[in-house]
Structure 1
Amino acid sequence: MMKIPPLNPLKVFEVVARAKNLTTAANELRVSQSAVSRQIAVLEEYLGVQLFTRERIGVKLTEVGEAYARRIGPAFEEISEATKFVTQKYSDNVIRLRTYTTLTARWLIPRLPHFKLQYPDVEVLITNSNAPLDFGTEQCDLAIVLGDGNWPNAEATLLLEDVIEPVCSPAFLEAFHGSTEQLLESLQSKRLLVSKYRKNDWPTWLAHVGMGHVFDKAEKMVFSSSILTWQAATDNLGIAIGQQHMLDPDLKAGRLVCPFARPLRTGRDHYIVTPSVQRYSGKIAAFKEWLVREARESKPMTPG
């Protein structure tokens, strides 16, 4: 079992040993000289030894006090450095954000110039990852994560609803001369473009429209990311599942269309997630507020 004296008297001893003067130590600690003397007396009583001899001017370490100070001083320096390491990220001008590539490229990056205009001295350092979120190992201040809003030891704020539906190029749609319902029925004969990390989107949407049997029978082309899937749809390779907030610019520009206009909210939305225990930081609070404001002002085009 560790034997540790009361920490407040121990800190007072470290300062007095370094300053070699009660008045100087009291000024550094912002307490009275008598308070310093009382704390030294408490420590001496706990240890059962005399640490200082009082002289006409100042104090002098005893031999045992000198030996004790040589070992206590570096310990307090190590505590100070460790504390600086933990708290420095809240005092610098860097925000460490963990998210994933699709949201970064399609939603966040186009909006970041707005943030930089308001906070030119703040740097946003982005790390992309699809791994499960764990603030115990993550070197980040906050994260944007797709999920149900529940993460252990974390607080979540809804950012963007996850709304999906099929998208294709205008040329792909024009090449089909039937009605929308006929196109829906013919999906099992069309190439379905599938994102590796969103592989359940197609089965989920097809079940939503009563055609859950189609996915297993249809030809599929799988890509490593949603971004590549959407590019393949733009280049007429087939039909992909789109995420509404991510594709709004493409829909407005006419590069992609929603042939069925039957969106589905998946129930797994994008959240801003922060540790439950986190030192307050003005820059992090401002960034969160900005993200929520940007999301609120985002108005995806209603497919039609």
Structure 2
Amino acid sequence: MSKQTEFPPLNPLHVFEVASRLLSFTKAAAELNVTQSAVSRQIATLEAAINVKLFKRERDGIYLTEAGEAYRREIGPAFARILWATNEIRANRLSDPLHLRVYSSFAARWLIPRLPAFKKKYPSIELRMNTAVQPVNFSRDSVDIAIQFGSGDWPDILCRKIMDDEIQPVCSPELYASVGGIKTVDDLAKVQLISARLRTRDWKDWLTDRKMAEPEGSYMEFPSSHLAYQAAAAGLGVAMAQLSLIERDVQEGRLMLLFDKPLKREMGYYAMWPKELSLSKNMRVFLNWLYTEANQSAN
């Protein structure tokens, strides 16, 4: 093979693309996570390989030669295309499992009952789910998409609200009948109030919105909303419920809504993923399905 048809060394070529784009060996070294001297050596290797001077070293910095500028214009788009193609092939791997991080109550009461329909529609997508209430750390946790409750203001994270936070008291029809109805805040004194440990403000916010004082007596507290709603359905008392999580219980008669309207708050459930992550095809499919399900649920 003649010298004229030999491919230039790829690593020095990559270093040149970065250095010519940034016009700084120091910045190139930082982007490539190497030393400045390593960048200089790679540039010297490339210049020797192609027998062309690519940079001028001046007192105030480095500049591309005319040949270096022409070379940059040609190889820059090539490297951009390689990066784009690499991200695309990574993003569209269909065999990789989709790792989800979800609150346990949301998983048990909303997501899991809907997953059989998802699996029937998308049998090739494998979902792996773990539950936790701690905020997700995408740099540490093996998570593609998380569903968390909050305001939607998380640094370095993209997110989309999937449902609002609407709360309203609920109890079992049997408890309602046994105390002769629960129609006013005074009637709440006749029953045990139930709360979830991580949602201790729900009762206070709802009563404050109605300009009502909290009734006397302590709350029966459970470690999760899921257990609090189960306790209410079993007739143990009145729980303050997130409407999105008890819709099936109401439809099937295990729980009934009390009073005339819910309280809608600013926070809600969000689907979230790292800002720097290119969404895979499986992630896009799941998110679109999630938005559709949530919208149908809200209506």
TM-score (norm 1): 0.69
CA distance in structure 1 between the aligned counterparts of 2:134 and 2:224, rounded to whole angstroms: 15
What is the aligned partner in structure 1 of residue 222 from structure 2? 223
CA spacing shift, 1:37–1:243, aligned 2, 3 Å: closer
Q: Residue 285 of structure 1: CA displacement?
A: 0.7
Matches within 5 A, 1:121-132: 121-132=124-135
CA distance in structure 2 between the aligned counterparts of 1:143 and 1:39, rounded to whole angstroms: 37
For residue 129 of structure 2, what is the amino acid of its counterpart?
I
- Unpaired segments ≥5 residues, structure 1: 1-21, 27-31, 52-83
Three-state SS of the structure 2 residue aligned to 1:284 is helix
What is the aligned partner in structure 2 of residue 8 from structure 1? none
CA distance in structure 2 between the aligned counterparts of 1:175 and 1:88, rounded to whole angstroms: 60
Are 2:239 and 1:232 aligned?
no
Are 2:242 and 1:252 aligned?
no
Decide which moves more: 199-208 or 39-48.
39-48
What is the aligned partner in structure 2 of residue 192 from structure 1? 193
CA distance in structure 1 between the aligned counterparts of 2:11 and 2:111, rounded to whole angstroms: 54
For residue 44 of structure 2, what is the amino acid of its counterpart?
Y
CA spacing shift, 1:176–1:35, aligned 2, 3 Å: same
What is the aligned partner in structure 2 of residue 108 from structure 1? 111
CA distance in structure 2 between the aligned counterparts of 1:209 and 1:291, rounded to whole angstroms: 33
For residue 146 of structure 1, what is the amino acid of its counterpart?
F
Q: Residue 174 of structure 1: CA displacement?
A: 0.9
What is the aligned partner in structure 1 of residue 147 from structure 2? 144
CA distance in structure 2 between the aligned counterparts of 1:192 and 1:278, rounded to whole angstroms: 44
- Unpaired segments ≥5 residues, structure 2: 17-40, 50-85
Any idea what the Cα deviations from partners look like across 1:35-72, whole Å, max 9, x if unmatched?
43899899788369x99xxxxxxxxxxxxxxxxxxxxx
What is the aligned partner in structure 1 of residue 280 from structure 2? 281
CA distance in structure 2 between the aligned counterparts of 1:37 and 1:263, rounded to whole angstroms: 67
For residue 202 of structure 2, what is the amino acid of its counterpart?
D
Q: Give the paired residue count.
A: 233
Q: Kindly indicate whether the alpha-carbon contact (under 8 Å) linking 1:90 and 1:279 is maintained by their aligned counterparts in 2.
A: no
Three-state SS of the structure 1 residue aligned to 2:259 is coil
For residue 94 of structure 1, what is the amino acid of its counterpart?
P
Q: Kindly indicate whether the alpha-carbon contact (under 8 Å) linking 1:100 and 1:130 is maintained by their aligned counterparts in 2.
A: yes
Of 30, 33, 42, the residue aligned with 2:5 is 33
What is the aligned partner in structure 2 of residue 204 from structure 1? 205
What is the aligned partner in structure 2 of residue 172 from structure 1? 175
Any idea what the Cα deviations from partners look like across 1:209-233, whole Å, max 9, x if unmatched?
212332xx22311111111111111
For residue 191 of structure 2, what is the amino acid of its counterpart?
K
CA spacing shift, 1:166–1:106, aligned 2, 3 Å: same
Decide which moves more: 184-193 or 129-138.
184-193
Q: Residue 189 of structure 1: CA displacement?
A: 4.6
Q: Kindly indicate whether the alpha-carbon contact (under 8 Å) linking 1:189 and 1:218 is maintained by their aligned counterparts in 2.
A: no
CA distance in structure 1 between the aligned counterparts of 2:290 and 2:270, rounded to whole angstroms: 10
CA distance in structure 2 between the aligned counterparts of 1:40 and 1:209, rounded to whole angstroms: 69
CA distance in structure 1 between the aligned counterparts of 2:261 and 2:207, rounded to whole angstroms: 11
Q: Kindly indicate whether the alpha-carbon contact (under 8 Å) linking 2:90 and 2:280 is maintained by their aligned counterparts in 1.
A: no
CA distance in structure 2 between the aligned counterparts of 1:232 and 1:123, rounded to whole angstroms: 33
TM-score (norm 2): 0.70
Of 97, 100, 106, the residue aligned with 1:94 is 97
- What percentage of aligned pairs have identical amino acids? 30
What is the aligned partner in structure 1 of residue 267 from structure 2? 268
Three-state SS of the structure 2 residue aligned to 1:273 is strand
Decide which moves more: 205-214 or 278-287.
205-214
Any idea what the Cα deviations from partners look like across 1:184-211, whole Å, max 9, x if unmatched?
2132453111111111111111111212
